[in-house]
Amino acid sequence: MTACAHCGTEVGAASSGGDEFCCRGCRAAFSLIRGMGLGQYYNRRSLDPAQRPLRPDEDVGPIDYAPHSRLGEDGLATVHLMVEGMHCAACVWLIESLLARQPAVVAARLNMTTRRLVVRWRPDGNEANAILAPVIGIGYRLQPYDPSRLGHESERVEKELLRAMAVAGFAAGNVMLFSVSIWAGESGSMDWVTRSLFHWISALIALPAVVYCIRPFARSAFTALRAGRSNMDVPITIGVTLASAMSLWETIRGGPHAYFDAAVSLLFFLLIGRYLDSRARGRARSSAEHLLSLGATTVTVLEDDGTRRLLPPEQVGLGMTVLAATGERIGVDGTVTAGESEIDSSLITGETVPAAVAPGARVFAGTLNLAAPLRLRVTAVGESTLLAEIVRMMELAEQGRARYIALADRVARYYAPVVHVMGLATFLGWEIFTDTPWQVALLYAVSVLIITCPCALALAVPVVQVVASGRLLRQGILVKSATAQERLANVDWIVFDKTGTLTVGRPDLLEGDWTGADLRLAASIAAASKHPVARALVRAMPDVPVADGVQEVPGCGLVLGSIRLGNRKWLGLPDEQAAAPGPELFLARPEGPAVRFAFADQPRSDAAEVVALLRRKGYHIALLSGDRSASVAVVADHLGIDDWQAGCSPSDKCARLEEWAARGHKVLMIGDGLNDAPALAMAHVSMSPSSAVDISQTAADVVFQGHRLAPVAEALAVARKAGSLVMQNFILALGYNLFTIPMAVAGMVTPLIAAISMSTSSVIVITNALRLSRGRIW
């Protein structure tokens, strides 16, 4: 028996014709890799295990990506994968570029936050393994997309960075003690023997720390260089390595210039920036995976002979009859064939009042059956359900947002090659055109690399984000996306949902013509029901006892003997009184007219004040709601919002956002329902209250707590100030380089002074960012 040369699968007896393959895809992938000059990548052992492609002799078997690809209705094959080993926006650009160069690939998108890679290609003669081979060949590891594995991978990376940061901080503090002593002895109070001893002690502390702590940067730099590209980690790795090597050489020869403190301090500051960036990105996760869990329920199928069978939703066939028990979340789209109940569709429509359903009514996957069992005829399952359509809309919006690249990484893409050329030119210039020894010329080149290492540039964005996030967190505002603050600062339009966003999200009893006795009787009957409107009656009189003998009629109301409490239609009341925008209940007794109780979803206590403040600050305010026109008009009029639209479906909201975006507006979407989730994902930036459903909180970039709307104004004010501070930090960082680089090239700066200057620039950037932590902004 012999093994496939690509994946290691047994393929039968060996032949004398060379390499054996188990399939055409493995042959194509192997040929492509070997054609790239990477045919030996299976045997390389220099890469870190987290980045190195799997070898056939490892415990975990090689991955065949073909079973994980799906053929769409458009004839294109699609595969969803998770990329391990990526560190910055340059990695995103590199991977997408490698895939886009292949003629068969139609689209390749990589989300930097979730590390989700989506590749679509024409499948004619093109296997998934061959399509993905270039990415695997340069050291990235691809796995079938698994959200739980994504969380574990992020946790592993953050723990590695935290450990490296702790080691670098410990080493920097101890080495600095010896360095300060050496600096103090420069006046002649310290002889060369003592200085040499301190250098050796510093080397024993610093070198193991450098070897351990440089790994996150060295792996990224090595991957970029092997692909013929550069990123921010390349000058960092070169500068730290040369500074450490030069310091060791100077220590061995008893020279005065050893800069172990500069190498370790540089790593410490850079690891802080990398860790903060990882934490910020790690809080954002793809919301589509959370949304799919709403449909991941077992469905009870009723057979023709009356027996019941439990099936996953994807195995249910069209036309089957399924049973939706009371309190059960429906897993398919269908039409009611028997039974009357009420459906909580707030996840779909955002409406808090349950909708009554009867035979012939349509229900959707993800909704909750509240009152009585229902029999449904299945009309859509899996990818054809309304829930799946919302997922696709969200994925499309998230993939569009994944193209966002932080300004620091965009600058660094062109900045890193300039640094390398400048360092090399400094060394060659001093070596060729002067009589300077090569050791001194190399020292000048190291000074250039250290002084130009983009430490302050790398900290410019994360440190402001962390300070701003800390201020917001103290006020109950959680910033989940690494780029949310930048996008909030550019907002000019603000779009609110109504129910649960501008309003408190629950019906409350309004004043009316009823008496205290009427309310007490109605509340005692309503206490026997879990209906949201009935609970509103109970809240109005919480101490009332529950009446005995109450019967509930699903979709109609409650009965206590000859007394009924229910809706207008059930009680046979005329429609001319149905002018109320909100829900209503009627108490009907044998004697006297029916007593009407009206309810409304009240605006948040400070909604009018916040909306007025935002308008004064120049924002355009709009309201998009899936609720009825009458109730939306009342809220819009009360808050002074002129631009509003009622009866909006999820696709309607997305269409309006797309229309405004096409006109050049930067839209902030604020919502809380499942119907808002696609719009939250599509908007330029999004916010959600903590009372929102899980999926909306996941789709939103910012989540705020409490019953007030003031956090919206605070988040916008902090974002504007943070954006200003970020630009100031960039000016400080780049201005520092423009001032110090000529001095370093001219040999006027030693690596010691370069390290101090580099650290000082970082401290200045951090100090500037700390101005955001206190004081009133608006």
Task: Enumerate residues 6+ apart whose C-beta is below 8 A from 245.
Answer: none
CA distance 254 to 258: 9
Question: 603 forms bridges with which residues in the sheet?
Answer: 503
Task: Output the DSSP codes for 160-188.
Answer: HHHHHHHHHHHHHHHHHHHHHHHHHGGGT
| Terminal alpha carbon distance of the chain | 75
In which order are the strands placed within the sheet that holds 702-704?
A: 477-479, 702-704, 685-689, 667-670, 493-496, 620-624, 643-645
Of 481, 395, 345, 403, which is closest to residue 654 (Cα–Cα)? 395
Decide: helix, strand or coil at residue 305: coil
The residue annotated as part of the active site, out of 233, 261, 344, 497, is 497
CA distance 3 to 78: 28
Nearest 5°: phi and psi at 195? -60, -45
CA distance 464 to 447: 28
Tell me the two tokens of residue 124.
């004619």
CA distance 288 to 738: 45
Of 589, 266, 669, 744, which is closest to residue 458 (Cα–Cα)? 266
Q: Which long-range contacts (CB under 8 A, 24 or more apart) does 724-729 make?
A: 725/464, 725/768, 725/769, 725/771, 725/772, 726/407, 726/460, 726/461, 726/464, 726/486, 728/768, 729/456, 729/459, 729/460, 729/461, 729/463, 729/464, 729/765, 729/768, 729/769
Task: Output the DSSP codes for 238-262.
Answer: HHHHHHHHHHHHHHHTT-S---HHH
CA distance 408 to 413: 9
Question: 30 forms bridges with which residues in the sheet?
Answer: none
CA distance 767 to 468: 13
In which order are the strands placed within the sheet that holds 333-338?
A: 308-311, 299-302, 321-324, 374-380, 333-338, 362-363
**Residues 499 and 625 sit within 8 Å (Cβ to Cβ):** yes
- Catalytic, 497? Answer yes
Catalytic residues: 497
